[in-house]
Every structure is written in C-alpha cells, then in structure tokens.
Amino acid sequence: DTGVSQDPRHKITKRGQNVTFRCDPISEHNRLYWYRQTLGQGPEFLTYFQNEAQLEKSRLLSDRFSAERPKGSFSTLEIQRTEQGDSAMYLCASSLAGPGDRGYTFGSGTRLTVV
C-alpha cells in the first residue's frame, strides 16, 4: 500500500492554458474524490467516483472542469482555460465504499498557481 499519489506536486501555468492532474488511489479503494483547498479554508468538494462512474459533481464545478476515471483505477482532473481564481491546492482522496471507519486517505495534493 503506497498511499494515494498525485502528480504533479506543483504546477505553474499561464492564465488561459489547460492543465491536467493525475491521481492514483490506494489499489483496493473503489471510491475516489477530488477536493480543492485555498488558504484558510477547508477542502471544498468537487466530484467523486465509485469505480468508473462519476456519482456527484459540485454545483461549484464549472464547465471548465472535467474529471475522468476511465478504468476505475487512476483519475484525471482537467481544468480548461485556467483563471487566477483556480489557484489552489487540488486534493485527491480515496476510500473503500463509504467513509466507514477508515474515512478518506488523502494524497499530498497538487498545488496550482495561475499567473
């Protein structure tokens, strides 16, 4: 069990560019979650998958954001036409079924800076 891996750790991009982040969950976990966190705030829910099915998306997730989990393993989060307000830490987490008694395991995050 190598934990939840996120790549890259840091990304600096110019406004208007597209970016893609990858998350590899713990192998036996069937649920995968994406959150966004800005300074001084708690993690904000974006979307989650059970296996390859995307079950819920936040109303805050604009149409510039898209996430996939094509084979029920790793997931990608793409942001198109980035804006400065997209600068944040993007956190991925995984779990087995519901939170249960193990809760989520978070990855180290991808810090996005839009300049």
Partner 1 sequence: QKEVEQNSGPLSVPEGAIASLNCTYSDRGSQSFFWYRQYSGKSPELIMFIYSNGDKEDGRFTAQLNKASQYVSLLIRDSQPSDSATYLCASPVGNTPLVFGKGTRLSVIA
Q: Could you tell me which stretch among 22-30, 53-61, 67-75, 77-85 binds partner 1 (CB under 8 A)?
A: 53-61
How many CA atoms lie within 13 Å of 41's alpha carbon, on the beta-carbon side? 11
How many binding residues for partner 1 (CB under 8 A)? 25
Alpha helices in 1-115 (DSSP H): none
**Residue 32 and residue 23 in contact, taking contact as beta carbons nearer than 8 Å:** yes
Q: Does 25 bind partner 1 (CB under 8 A)?
A: no
Q: Which of 21, 34, 48, 65 binds partner 1 (CB under 8 A)?
A: 48
Position 28, amino acid = E
Binding site for partner 1 (CB under 8 A): 31, 33, 35, 40-45, 48, 55-56, 58, 91, 98-99, 101-109
